[in-house]
Structure 1
C-alpha cells in the first residue's frame, strides 16, 4: 500500500499518541482499581471488623454480668440484676447483629466479583450468630426465671447455668472466629494491594519507557522520511551554482521520492541541454572561425592564384627556351634546369594550397545519392596501392559483404578517404598495418581506418579538426577540417580515437540510403 508523506508522519505520531494514551488509561484503570480496593477495605471489612470487635466486647460484658447474677447471694439484688439484664441483653445483641448484617449486604454491593463469595460467607456466619443469639436469649430467660425465685433449687440453677455458659462459649468462639477471618482478609487485601501497587508502578514505568522509545522511533522515522527534502534542497543549491550532475537516487513511492526522481530527470535533462548548448556553441564558434578563414582564404587565394598562374606559365616558357639555349658548361645548364624545376614544384604546391583554401572558403554542395561505400573505398585503395606499398604499409580489408549503401557524394567521399589514407601513411613513416573496416548499422554506415602509427596525445586530439592546426612541418592544417566539413554537409560525422604509442583510428559515419 502506497502511503503519502503526510499520512506516514501522521501514522507515526498517531502511534505515539496511542501509546501514551494506553499508558494513561492503564494508570487510570489501576488507580480506580486501587481506589475500589481501599474503599472495600476501609468502608467494608474494617467496619465489619469493628462490628465484630464490638460484638465481642458486648458478649464479654454479658458473660461477666451472667457470672455476677449467678454468684450474687442476695435474692433482692439478684432480681434487680435480672430486671436490668432483661431490658438490654436480648435487644442490644440482636440490634448489633442486624447492623452487622446490613453492613455485610452493603459490602457485597461494593465487593468485586472475586469477593462476593467471601462476603456471602460472612453473611451466613452473621445469620448463624443471630440464631445463636436468639437461643442464648431463651437460655438467659430460663436462668433469670429460676434465679428470680426466693429459694432456687441448686441443681436446677447449675443445670440452666451450664446451658447458658455453653451458649456463651459457642457465641464467643463464633465471634472471635468471625473477627479473625475479617482481620486475615483485611491483611490479605492490604498485602495484595501493596503488591499490586508495586507491580503497577513497575508496569507504568516500563510502559512509559516503551512509550518514550516509540516516540523516539517515530521521530527518527519522520526525520528519515524528511531527510530527502534536505538532500533535495542541497541539490537545488548545486544546480543553482551550475552543477547539473546532482542526482538524489531516492527510492520509494511517496511524494518526496517522486519529486526526487523528477528532480533527477530534470538534472539529467539540464545536463544534456548544457552539453548540447556547449556543443552548439563550439560548433558555432568553429563555424565562425571557418567563415572567417573562408573569407580570408578566398581573398588570399584570389590575390595569389592569378600571379601563380602567370609565374607557372612563364616558368614553362623559360623551360622551353632553355631547351634551345647554350651554356658555358653542362653544369650551368643542369643547375638552371634544377632551379626552374624547383620553382615549378613550388608553384604547383602553392596552387594546391590555394585550391584547399578555396575549397574551405566555398565548399561545393554535395549531390547526395545512394552510394556503395565499399566500392568507393575499394576504388580509392586500388588507386593508392602503389603509394602505400612504397611506404611499407600493409592494408587489411575487413569490408562488410552486405555492401551497405549511404547517401553521399561519391567525389567528395573519395576526397575524404584519400585524405585519411594519406594521413595514415604519413603517421607510419617506418611502415605498418592499416586495417579498414566497414559496418552497417540501423541508421548509418560506419567506416573505420585503424593504423599502427605513433598515435597522438589527448591535447593534440582536442584540436585535430581545427583549421590550420597541424603536427606536420609542411602541413596546412586544412585536410581534416575540410573532411569534417564535407561529412557534416552529408549529415555524417568524423571522429577519432588515439593514444600515444597505440595507433590512431578514424571513424567515418554516413547516413544510410
Structure 2
C-alpha cells in the first residue's frame, strides 16, 4: 500500500483575516504598552522627586538657614546689654535646628528611601548617617552657649572672646557639611531630571516609530486582506459572465482556501453546465435529424424497392450489351441509397439499451473475429490486449458490438494502406475502458471535437453517422466516448462503460465467456 504524505493543514480565509487582525492588534498593543511604560516611568520619576527629594531638600534648606543664623550669631558680636534675650534666641535656634535635623532624617528614611530608586535609597542612607554625625558633632555647642551666656552676664570680655574663638569654627564646619549634603541632594535631583528628560525624548521617538510601524502594519494588512478577497470578486465577475451566456471554463489558479475551492467548484460547474447544454443540443439535433430521417426514409424506401424490382425485370428482358451495363450501374446506386436509408433508420430508431452484466472481453473477441475478413482485405492487423480478471460491465450486447464495430471500421478507414490496430481493455476506477488505437494520419485539434457530430466526416465517402451512432449508444449506456491523439501518431478512441454492481455481476446463461487472451492478432 502506498503511503500518501499528509496534506498540509489548510489555512482558511477566516484564519488568515484573523491572523492579519491579530498582527494589527499586536502592533497597536506594542505602541500602547510602550506608552504606558513611558508614562509609568515618568510618574515614578515625578513621585521620587516630589515625595523623596523635595521634602529632604526643603528640610536641608531650613536646617542650613538655622545653622547659618547660629553661625552668624556666634561669629558676630553678642549683645552684652541683654544677655537674656541672647539666651532666648540661641535656645530657640538650637531647638529649631534639632527638630529640623529630626524632620530631615525622617524625610530621607520615610520618603526617599521608600519611593526612590536603588541609587537614591543608597544616597538616603548615606545622608541620614551624615546628618546624624553632624548633629552629634554639634552637641558640644550647648556648653559653649552656656559658657558664652555666663561670660556675658559677668561682663568678662576675655572669656567671651575665647568662647567665640572656640565655638565659631565648629558652627562653620557644620554649616559647610550641611552645604555639602544639600549639594549632593541637588546633584542627584539634577541627574534624575536629566535622565527623565532623555527618557521622555526617547519615548517620544519610540512612540513616533511605533505609530509609523502600526500604520504600516495596518496598510499591509489591508493590502493582504484585499488580496485574499480578490478571488471572490473574480468569482462574482465569472458568475455575471456565466449569467450572460459565457459557458467557456476558465483556468483557475489554485489557492489553499475556501475561495479557491469555490472558484474551482464554480468552473467545474460551468464545465458541467456547458457539457450538459452541448449534450442537450446534440440530443435535440439528433432527435430532429432522426425524425427527418425516418420521414424521408419512409417516403423513399417504397419507390426504391419498386425501382430495384423494375431494374431486375429490365435486366432479364435485355440481353447483354451496353444497356445492361447501365442498368447494373443504376442498380448499384439504388442499393447505395437503400443502405443510406438503413443508416438513417438506425439513427432514428435506435432502441433503449437492455442493460445486463456482461463479459466485455467476450464481446470484444466476437467483434474482432466478425471483422477479420474485412480487416484482411484492408491489410490490417488487429492486436487485442485484455487485462485478466476484468469485472463484468453493464451493457446491451448487440448495441455495444455495433459501437465497437463502428470504431474498428473507422480505424480501418483511417489507414488506407493498412497497418496495426490495437484494442486494449482495462479496468479503470468504476469503469471498464476499451481503447481502439489506429496509426493513421490523426485528427487535427480544431476538428477533433466535431468527429461525433452527425454527417461530419473527414473522408470523401461515407454518411458521417458511424461515430454519431457510437456516441449515442455509449451515452445511452451511461458511459463516455472520446477521441484522443495517440502518442506516435494516429488516434485513440476511448470507450468507458460502467462496472456492473455485485448483485448483477453473474453472467447471463446464453453465451459462454471467452477466456481473456492477453495478446491476439487477427490477420
TM-score computed with the length of structure 2 as normaliser: 0.78
Structure 1 residue 53 corresponds to structure 2 residue 68: yes
User: 3-state SS of the aligned residue for 1:436?
Assistant: strand
| Structure 2 equivalent of residue 197 of structure 1 | 196
Counterpart for residue 93 of structure 1: 90
Change (3 A) 1:218 1:42: farther
How many angstroms apart in 2 are the aligned matches of 1:101 and 1:350?
143
Are residue 486 (structure 1) and residue 497 (structure 2) matched?
no
Q: Distance in 1 between matches of 2:293 and 2:351?
A: 15
Out of 292-301 and 7-16, give the one that drifted further. 7-16
Whether the aligned pair in 1 keeps the contact of 2:254 and 2:264 (CA below 8 Å) is no
Distance 2:352 2:182 in 1: 122
Conserved? CA contact 1:469–1:478, under 8 Å: yes
Q: Which residue of 2 aligns with 1:416?
A: 403
Cα distance in structure 2, aligned partners of 1:278 and 1:58? 116
Distance 1:487 1:204, change over 3 A: closer
> 2:426 aligned with 1:439, yes or no?
yes
Match in the other structure for 2:180: 181
Query: Which structure has the greater CA radius of gyration?
Result: 1
The more displaced of 281-290 and 135-144 is 135-144
1:439-464 CA-to-partner distances (Å, cap 9, x unmatched) read 12453221111011000112221111
- Matched residue count: 466
How many Å apart are 1:247 and its aligned residue? 6.6
Q: Whole-Å Cα distance in 2 between the matches of residues 201 and 22 of structure 1?
A: 11
Distance (Å, rounded) in 2 between the aligned partners of 1:249 and 1:288: 36
CA contact (8 A) 2:290 2:347 kept: yes
CA contact (8 A) 2:49 2:189 kept: no
1:461 to 448, 463, 467: 448
Contact kept, 8 Å, 1:235 with 1:248, in 2: the verdict is no
Q: Which runs of 5+ in 1 are unaligned?
A: 66-80, 149-156, 252-259, 326-332
Q: Is the deviation greater in 18-27 or in 228-237?
A: 228-237
Task: Tell me: CA distance 1:101–1:225, structure 2 relative to 1, closer, same or farther (3 Å).
Answer: farther
Name stretches of at least 5 consecutive residues in structure 2 with no aligned partner.
1-13, 114-120, 243-248, 501-523
Alignment correspondent of 2:300 = 304
1:295 corresponds to 2:282? no
What is the rounded CA distance, in whole Å, between the counterparts of 1:250 and 1:502 in structure 2? 37
Asked if the contact 1:37–1:193 (Cα under 8 Å) also holds between the matched residues in 2, the reply is: no
Equivalent position of 1:212 in the other structure: 211
Greater alpha carbon shift after TM alignment, 88-97 vs 263-272? 263-272
**Alpha-carbon distance, 1:12 to partner:** 5.6
Match of 1:363 in 2: 350
Distance 1:232 1:449 in 2: 42
1:120-269 correspondence to structure 2 within 5 Å: 121-129=130-138, 131-141=139-149, 143-144=151-152, 147=155, 160=159, 163-209=162-208, 211-212=210-211, 215-216=214-215, 219-220=218-219, 223=222, 226-227=225-226, 230-231=229-230, 234-235=233-234, 237-242=236-241, 261=258, 263-269=259-265
For 1:249 and 1:512, how far apart are their aligned partners in 2? 32
Does residue 1:502 correspond to 2:489, yes or no?
Answer: yes
How far residue 422 of structure 1 moved from its aligned partner, in angstroms, is 1.4
**What does 1:327-346 align with in structure 2 at a 5 Å threshold?**
333-346=320-333
CA separation in 1, counterparts of 2:107 and 2:473?
108
Which structure shows the higher helix fraction? 1
CA distance in 2, matches of 1:218, 1:142: 85
Deviation at 1:11, TM superposition (A): 6.0
Q: Does 1:275 align with 2:290?
A: no
TM norm structure 1? 0.80
SS of equivalent residue, structure 1 residue 459: coil
Cα RMSD (Å):
3.3
**Shift in CA distance, 283/248, structure 1 to aligned 2, threshold 3 Å:** closer
